[in-house]
Structure 1
Amino acid sequence: MSLLEIKNLTKRFSGLVAVNNVSLSIDEGEILGLIGPNGAGKTTLFHSVCGFHNPEEGSVKYNNEEIKGKKPEFICKKGIARTFQIVQPFGNLTLLENVIVGAFNRVKSFKRAEAIALEQLTYIGMDSKAYTRMKDLTFPEQKKVEVARALATQPKVLFLDEVMSGLNPSEVNEFIELIKDIRDRGISIFFIEHLMSAVMALSDRIAVMHLGEKIAEGNPEEVMKNKTVVEAYLGEEVSC
């Protein structure tokens, strides 16, 4: 049985069908990459699974429990955390305070939340800046702290929305290793990314969306050679 199972999910905005009858599943310890052109419906799919949109049709089951239409905080408590395409820090709060917000998803004690937050900042190598304000960080540093905040919720599935966009090659490699290590800690990963080198380095499977629909799914080699994917998104086959 899959840890997360999405079946025939559909999300409409007035006359626009942003996600059309999409089915996907994620197993424990798996990294699933989601690719496709801008406007394909990838982030809308994330929003629909994580409770930020209420899909009109379909099913989302986590540990065989239906969660479609539930509030984001309910879904987060169940064990699904996410980052956002546009980093959303609390700019005037410190790194530690930002991550404490995530820790309160699981614990009520401030001291325990603080300990969890510091543990996650240490894990991403940012504990030396724990009392720095978020707005004083660089863009890549803010992205790392957002991952730490998501991890502080103690998820079983982590959704990452273009977490490597805007990073230089060295920073990308650092994130690739971080994501692999997160998976090795027993957390399944579902990520959106346009950087194909990262997608190929990380993905156990890849799903492809175009115009709101899933047009392909499979292992990286299969997907990169799929003619429909090449025509809709890649433009040319990617070396595996």
Structure 2
Amino acid sequence: MKLLEVNSLTKRFAGLTAVNNVSLELNEGEILGLIGPNGAGKTTLFHSICGFHKPEEGLVLLNGEEITRKKPEFICEKGIARTFQIVQPFGNLTVLENVVVGAFSREKKIHDAEALAMEQLDFLGLKELSQQRMKDLTFPEQKKVEVARALATKPKILFLDEVMSGLNPSEVNEFIELVKTIRDRGVSIVFIEHLMSAVMALSDRLAVMHLGEKIAEGEPQEVMRDPLVVEAYLGEDIA
């Protein structure tokens, strides 16, 4: 079942076209990888879908309902959550309070929001850290809390922006299994990542951006052999 449709999306900043006529689809239960060199427009595409930028052209449909240019809180309420490339914790708040911020999008009573937040922390193995301040956590732990905060909004789709960057191999493997489990719990996923081992381990389909345009899309192994992708991003050695 088609869950998300992005049709001919274009985002400009003054004279710069950061995203140019990009179309994507995400099916229910799918993990879609999005790769490309730095500056390709991947994060700008995320921003434009999730409401942080207003695209000049194109449409975004969620379950057939147009959400183009809607505010982030509206889009979150409809079922899209995201993490950010740079972790954005509330450093002086506790871990639980950080996740409650997300839970308040679904639960209006503090008791219910805290229960929902604790459920996500337990799922991510962070329950014992719930009363620690965010700024005292390790970097990987902060990344997990950001995922927990996104999951506390009860999304249909989770956008992950380089959630594995800066992690060691053991932590990367843990996050790969975590993402798979999130999908198995009924959340479809779109993720940006430069670590190709994670991209290949997770992606049901793979899309590639370069200079603001989508240059390839399809089965991961097929995309990795595409001459345009090899030239623009991978290089002969990696391919």
TM range (shorter): over 0.9
Partner of residue 230, structure 1: 230
Q: Output aligned runs, 1:17-32, within 5 Å.
A: 17-32=17-32
1:140-178 Cα offsets, whole Å, 9 max, x none, are 100000000000000000000000000000000000000
1:57-106 Cα offsets, whole Å, 9 max, x none, are 00000010000100000000000000000000000000000000000001
Note the aligned Cα RMSD (angstroms).
0.8
Mapped to 1, the partners of 2:97 and 2:38 lie a distance apart of 33
Structure 1 position 238, deviation (Å) = 4.5
Partner of residue 85, structure 2: 85
Mapped to 2, the partners of 1:214 and 1:195 lie a distance apart of 19
Q: Output aligned runs, 1:175-186, within 5 Å.
A: 175-186=175-186
1:234 partner letter: L
Structure 2 residue runs without a partner (length 5+) = none
Partner of residue 7, structure 2: 7
Q: TM-score, normalised by structure 2?
A: 0.99
Mapped to 1, the partners of 2:69 and 2:2 lie a distance apart of 20
Partner of residue 43, structure 1: 43
Structure 1 position 236, deviation (Å) = 2.1
Tell me if the contact between 1:224 and 1:238 (Cα under 8 Å) persists in the aligned partners.
no
* 1:3 alignment partner, SS class: strand
Mapped to 2, the partners of 1:10 and 1:2 lie a distance apart of 21
Tell me if the contact between 1:158 and 1:188 (Cα under 8 Å) persists in the aligned partners.
yes
Mapped to 1, the partners of 2:163 and 2:148 lie a distance apart of 12
2:49 partner letter: V
Matched length: 239
Structure 1 position 237, deviation (Å) = 6.1
Structure 1 residue runs without a partner (length 5+) = none
Mapped to 2, the partners of 1:238 and 1:157 lie a distance apart of 30
* 2:232 alignment partner, SS class: helix
* 2:2 alignment partner, SS class: coil
Q: Output aligned runs, 1:1-240, within 5 Å.
A: 1-236=1-236, 238=238
Tell me if the contact between 1:6 and 1:61 (Cα under 8 Å) persists in the aligned partners.
yes
Mapped to 2, the partners of 1:232 and 1:37 lie a distance apart of 8
Tell me if the contact between 1:230 and 1:237 (Cα under 8 Å) persists in the aligned partners.
no
